[in-house]
Amino acid sequence: MAIGYVALVLHAHLPFVRHPESDYVLEEEWLYEAITETYIPLLKVFEGLKRDGIDFKITMSMTPPLVSMLRDPLLQERYDAHLAKLEELTELEVEHNAHNGHIRYLAEHYATEFNEARQIWESYQGDLVTAFKQFQDTNNLEIITCGATHGYLPLMKMYPQAVWAQIQVACEHYEQTFGQPPRGIWLPECAYYEGLERMLADAGLRYFLTDGHGILYARPRPRFGTYAPIFTETGVAAFGRDHESSQQVWSSEVGYPGAPEYREFYKDLGWEAEYEYIKPYIMPNGQRKNTGIKYHKITGRGLGLADKALYDPYWAREKAAEHAANFMYNRERQSEHLYGIMQRRPIIVSPYDAELFGHWWYEGPWFIDYLFRKSWYDQGTYTMTHLADYLRAEPTQQVCHPSQSSWGYKGFHEYWLNETNAWIYPHLHKAAERMIEISTREPEDELQLRSLNQAARELLLAQSSDWAFIMRTGTMVPYAVRRTRSHLMRFNKLYEDIKIGKVDSGWLEKVELMDNIFPEINYRVYRPL
């Protein structure tokens, strides 16, 4: 009999980026890259496991912005065109490198990969949400929700209605999408503050994920550390991240993705090909960008990009199998050790950003595939589970008060509140006050109702933690600043128009077209609790 559980949890999230007002916006490609490099490869893994009779179990959040974008006809159409460009470029690369053996081999590898992506994309008519849902329906995949727009909840807690809106709108959107209420939630950035669990319980949620120290510093101190969930007094369970298994994958020093056999992320054909040749496949204004076609491997530490050796998918796949076996071995030993101490079956919760697998770590989906296959066939020490199944199997847990925490730098809120992004919060707080104020109004007509609902959407979109995160990382900062300001400006115009009873119907229609997330939203969600 197995003496432990391992729960792999993937957080699939992207900020809501959709620009119908423009023919091309680079940031929309965040979604297209994730579809090609992460979501379709994961579906391919799940399909293969199911086909081969492996009863895999995995938990995966699909955030409301991601679900909304994946189901958006405009973005589906644009992705189709994006994939067609990749297919065209790889065909050209195969022909262009007819006498360059290894590069041709790699070009053919990508041509096959993009062709398979096309087949999967078309087999689901471009609806990848339904594709993932089928695995939830067979209880292989547990899909959980997140904050409505991934708002950083501890920095909103002075406005409980704003926190409630992030949770309730997400739960309603989930039920509209998947036909049932969500059981669990990945707290945005795994950020928890004391009292949040009451709102989670009121929303009908059964469990949430937090960082390990949110459990380790709970009161009273949990007897089993992060190797069992704790129940809050509301009955909602909290699962903590396991540091050891996380480090083996995440760490830039000792993590698997740094192996020299793996593909080098930062050396891309879009930057290296001759300009006139690559021009049709980069940005319309002629600026270079990543294409996703990368011919080199990491090779070794300390080497410049110019010194990287050519990549070989065959040896990279072998290394992914080796790393999956190592991960399995370590979880077996960890389970045995913990079981000996705890005298009950531990659960090792291993959460990661989904985009790590495939986008940042190209071989990541192969690693997941091998891990499930090896765990199914080659060991009996632990059972791979998803979190809902675990709670059904182990309904008795210690009751504690979790500690305030996040999985950001230093473990608390510093990454989302610092000198690079502190300027946004007075504006967000003022907008929250105003939204709570107008939420008590009863609309005089259909136009005012639309305005009130659109104001709620604009506030939610402005609150996305992604914008503060980008400002802190220093990448794509102008875009994050622009998005924050534009949503706040739209919100404030709507607020002022509602207050004076004069709504610009033409302008409202344009804003509704651009920011069309949550079509069923009800602004009354912001009413005082």
Determine if residue 241 is labeled as part of a ligand binding site.
Answer: yes
What is the token pair recorded at 57?
């179990």
Determine if residue 407 is labeled as part of a ligand binding site: yes
Continuous segment of H or E residues that includes residue 382: strand 382-384
Give the phi and the psi of residue 156 in degrees, each rounded to 5. Answer: -115, 0
| SS3 state at 323 | helix
Pair 212, 197: CB distance under 8 Å: no
C-alpha torsion sign, points 339, 341, 346, 349: negative
Question: What is the DSSP pairing of strand 58-62 with strand 4-12?
Answer: parallel
* Contact criterion met (CB below 8 Å) for 240 and 214: yes
DSSP 309: P
Is 466 annotated to bind a ligand? Reply is yes
Active site residues: 189, 353
C-alpha distances in Å from residue 341, one per residue of 333, 381, 446: 13, 15, 63
Q: What is the DSSP pairing of strand 230-231 with strand 237-240?
A: antiparallel
Task: Pick left, alpha or beta for residue 253 (phi over 0 → left; psi -120 to 50 → alpha; otherwise beta).
Answer: alpha
CB neighbours of 420 closer than 8 A, spacing ≥ 6? 471, 472, 474
Block residue for tokens 């534009």: 486
3 state SS of 167 = helix
The span from the CA of 355 to the CA of 62, in Å, is 12
Q: What three-state secondary structure class fits 210?
A: strand
Q: Is 109:313 a contact under the CB 8 Å cutoff?
A: yes
- Residue labelled with tokens 């989670």: 200
| Angle formed by the axes of helices 73-96 and 101-123, nearest 10° | 160
Return the ∠ at Cα 150 (arms to 206 and 426), rounded to 5°: 125
Could you give the maximum distance between any two Cα atoms of the chain, in Å?
Answer: 72
- Inter-residue contact 328 to 375 (CB < 8 Å): yes
Whose CA is closest to 481, among 500, 508, 462, 497? Answer: 462
What is 338-369 written as a DSSP string? HHHHHSS--EEEEEEEGGGBTTTBTTHHHHHH
Q: Where is the binding site, in residues?
A: 241, 258, 407, 466
Q: Where is the binding site for substrate, in residues?
A: 241, 258, 407, 466
